Amino acid sequence: MPVDFPLGSKVIAWGRVAHPIIPLPVLTRMGYVSFDFLVDTGADCSMIPATIATTDLGVTLAQCPQETFVGIEGRGVRVFRGWLSLKIGPSPVRVRCVFSPREHTPLILGRLDVFRQFSITFDNHRHRIRFTRLSP
pLDDT digits (tens, 9 = 90+) for 62-82: 999 999 988 766 778 899 999
Task: Give the C-alpha separation, 4 to 63, whole Å.
Answer: 36
pLDDT, one tens digit per residue, over 23-45 is 999 999 999 999 999 999 999 99
DSSP string for 34-95: EEEEEE-TT-SSEEEEHHHHHHTS---GGGS-EEEEE-TTS-EEEEEEEEEEEEETTEEEEE
Q: Could you name the CATH architecture of 3-133?
A: Beta Barrel (2.40)
pLDDT value for 111: 95
pTM: 0.92
Count of CA atoms in the C-beta half-sphere (13 A) of 59: 27
Residue 87 pLDDT grade (very low, low, confident, very high; cuts 50, 70, 90): very high
Q: Which sequence spans correspond to the domains of the chain?
A: 3-133
